[in-house]
Amino acid sequence: MDASETLADDLMRQLPFDVSTEEFLQDPYQFFEQVRRTSGPVYRTRSGDVVVLGYFEAMSVLSDPRFGHGAQTAREQTNYGVPARTFLLTDPPGHTCQRNRVRRAFTAREILRLRLKINALAAALVQAAAQAGHADIVADVARPLSATVIADLIGVPDHLRDRFVQAAALLVRAMDPPQLIDPLIRERIARARVGLARDISVALRRPADAGLLHALARGAEDPMARAETVATCAQLVAAGYETTVGLIANGMHALLQDRDQLARLAATGPSEQATAAAVEELLRFDPPIQLAPRSALADADIAGTPVPRGTIVSVLLGAANRDPRAFPEPHRLRFDRQTRHLAFGLGTHYCLGAALARLEATAALKHLLAHSPRPADPHVSYSPSRVARSVQSLPVHLNASRKQWK
């Protein structure tokens, strides 16, 4: 059980609504709004822990060094009672060195290479789907695009990629409370953890001259450092893969539900600049990650609510992104607003893959819009995960010919 899973388990049993219902899966935002109206932007659970639903309060927590994970190195325990294992669950200064090594993998040259590759791959996937006249946005576009990019970034050999992708998707489910996961799925998750670590270890032994593995491998000579590198790659894969899939799928679903905004975006060409701006509003409207866990590392307060040291603080990103104090008409999709969303977090632990997810979503949506997508099924199902929110399947009709923009 990882930190997010443990926290979600405790949190979801204490919220004043039932997160296991289909109604919550379809629209969690109505429940968040009810709590905010009755309790304000900060809600204290029965155990004394804190849930943050307000935008400004979420910004404060995410950027304040008094809130973190409670581990200085990957070999320590977090305040949630599990080993950190990777720098993603550590605090500065231990977090900073490893994060900087990963960031060096994303040079300007590498980002340009990825941008060109992502655009070409998205165009090819959408064109193939359009030739058939219909597609599942998730299965035919979002998943293969995200899987190819993340596997290429990590350096996974071609013959391991299918297994690699299946394992990554399963690890996202592990963030949910155990009682919401079927026992058979839990067994598959355990096997996926072992298999993904094995495949990354294989990839780590292959020579590389660029990219994420190269940046991490340079400091992974001893067994403990190598184990941390494998764990870090596995965590980045699980988070980066499903986050991008959710962004593309949730974003397209939101567009198909709002024909006015869809037409407004399509009328722009759609240009890459307009699509990229729309992606920011789509991230605010229905973010692929809903929960950012923190712990109070010192006595603090949030909007006047005392938060003693050791208190678990759960930032509900989806709720914060629909705070009416920050976003007029928060439950409406509006491409005319200057969006300052928190979908990728903020501060020290700001999402490392944010730029990559934006590139993939912009490319996918731009090419899809050129083929005039129309919903093929009014019912949409969501992933059973409560931490990672993602449309599971999104059937659409597509025009085979690409629209010629004026």
Band (330; pLDDT cuts 50, 70, 90): very high
| Residue in 177, 196, 294, 291 with CA at minimum distance from that of residue 236 | 196
pLDDT digits (tens, 9 = 90+) for 104-141: 666 667 777 888 999 999 999 999 999 999 999 999 99
Contact predicate 41/56, CB 8 Å: yes
Whole-model pTM: value is 0.87
pLDDT tens track for 47-93: 888 999 999 999 999 999 999 988 887 777 778 666 667 777 888 88
Residue 92 corresponds to which amino acid? Answer: P
Domains of the chain, start order: 3-397 (1.10.630.10)
> What is the distance between the terminal CA atoms of the chain, rounded to a whole angstrom?
54
* Token pair for 199: 């495949």
- Mean per-residue pLDDT over the chain, rounded: 83
Question: Which DSSP symbol is given to 303?
Answer: T
**Segments in 81-107 forming alpha helices (H):** 94-103
According to DSSP, the β-strands at 67-68 and 312-316 are unpaired
Starting from the edge strand earliest in sequence, which strands make up the sheet with 395-397, in order? 134-136, 395-397, 374-375
9-18, 203-212, 259-268, 281-290: segment of lowest average pLDDT: 203-212
- Three-state helix/strand/coil letters over 229-256: HHHHHHHHHHHHHHHHHHHHHHHHHHHH
Closest CA to 313 of 301, 296, 299, 297: 296
pLDDT in tens, 155-169: 777 777 777 777 777
Radius of gyration in angstroms for the set of CA atoms belonging to the chain, rounded to a whole number: 21
What are the tokens at 282? 């789509």
CA distance 39 to 34: 9
| Higher pLDDT among residues 395 and 156, named by residue | 395
Tell me which residue of 280, 191, 238 sits closest to 86, measured CA to CA: 238
pLDDT at 8: 55
What is the per-residue pLDDT across 219-234, written as a single tens digit (0 to 9) for each? 555 666 666 677 777 7
Longest dimension (CA), the chain: 61
Q: For strand 395-397 and strand 134-136, is the pairing parallel, antiparallel, or unpaired? A: antiparallel
